[in-house]
Amino acid sequence: MSFVDSKYIGLVSSRLDKFAKKKEGLYNFRCPYCGDSQRTKSKTRGYIYQLKNDHNFKCHNCGTSRTFTNFLKDMDTVLYDQYVMERYREGTTGKRSQTKTPEFNFEKPNFSKKAFDLPTIAELNKEHSARKYLEDRKIPDSYLRELYFCEKFKEWTNTQKHTFDKVEKDEPRIIIPLVNKGEIFGFQGRSLNKNSKVKYITIILNDTHPKIYNLDKPDYDKTVYVVEGPFDSMFLDNSIAMVGADIDKMFFVSNFGTDFVMVYDNEKRNKQIVDRMEKAIQMKFPIVIWPNDLKEKDINDIILSGIDASKIIKENTYMGLEAKAKLIGWKRV
């Protein structure tokens, strides 16, 4: 008789009413399938008996017949899994056995590939201008592995998508990938030149995706904060950043039910920003109206000043008529 069978018959016996061992390889108890006799509680017509190298179950009341393997599976799935593995280690599964060999579904290891054939910021030495720029802005270290450095932005961009007819006066830029559902659909290039006329250049490789940074990371069952720039979103939990000029209506419609809070820069004299804020209020979005005494222009500046940006945002979120009133007061200061 198999030691493994004997062991697991013993383990499952506590679940079997009036269980008794009659002799070697034969066990008797009340049938767990039909409940056995309802009139005579002492009747026990369920049996486990040895059949060659295996065991079977048979009830002489309802007629149910099961291999011991399937009987154990019906009684206790945890014991069943352990039993099959012990039989497998013993070499008594598969052909010439009532117990099938377990299937092992090993997932192939997912070795994350770099988004671009460029050095990540984390791979640059500490004195590199791109790394120093981001560290001076206190960008969290975890993002340095997701951002890239490109020495000649125009030339490299043309290898991804022909964009520039002239590549003279090329310059280095930090590359910010735009990803949705694992697909890189574009990127932003942030200039390292203080005198650059265009600080950010956005390249879209697939325009079927919403022009939004950090799409894959938020939990959309929670409040999602919508900020203006990718760097700002790196300081705010559960946030995304618009890289287009305005609200992507289709994105918000497709995520109906999610609570979005719009967080614009603190620039009262910027007509474009004020217009966007007014539009967001009209569309019934909650919106952050910054305190009048706050001098910092965006979340990154707030962080650099040592202020808790998350706390300010939560304490200054408004919607509807209250948001309209707060916006009027904010613009006047």
Domains of the chain: 3-90 (3.90.580), 120-209 (3.90.980.10), 212-333 (3.40.1360.10)
Q: Which of 77, 84, 90 is nearest to 104 (CA)?
A: 84
pLDDT at 104: 64
Residue 106 has pLDDT above 70, yes or no: no
Q: Are 31 and 62 in contact (CB under 8 A)?
A: yes
Cα–Cα distance, 324 to 319 (Å, whole number): 8
Angle between helices 68-75 and 3-12 (to 10 degrees): 30
pLDDT tens for 138-170 read 999 999 999 999 999 999 999 999 999 999 889
Q: What is the CA radius of gyration of the chain?
A: 33
**What gap in Å lies between CA 262 and CA 241, rounded to an integer?**
10
Q: Alpha-carbon distance 136 to 304, whole Å? A: 9
Determine contact, residues 234/196, Cβ cutoff 8 Å.
no
Return the higher-pLDDT residue of 308 and 14.
308
User: How much is the pTM?
Assistant: 0.65
24: helix, strand or coil: coil
pLDDT digits (tens, 9 = 90+) for 119-139: 999 999 999 999 999 999 999
Distances in Å between the Cα of 14 and the Cα atoms of 17, 18, 19 are 8, 9, 8
Tell me the mean pLDDT in the region 200-214: 92
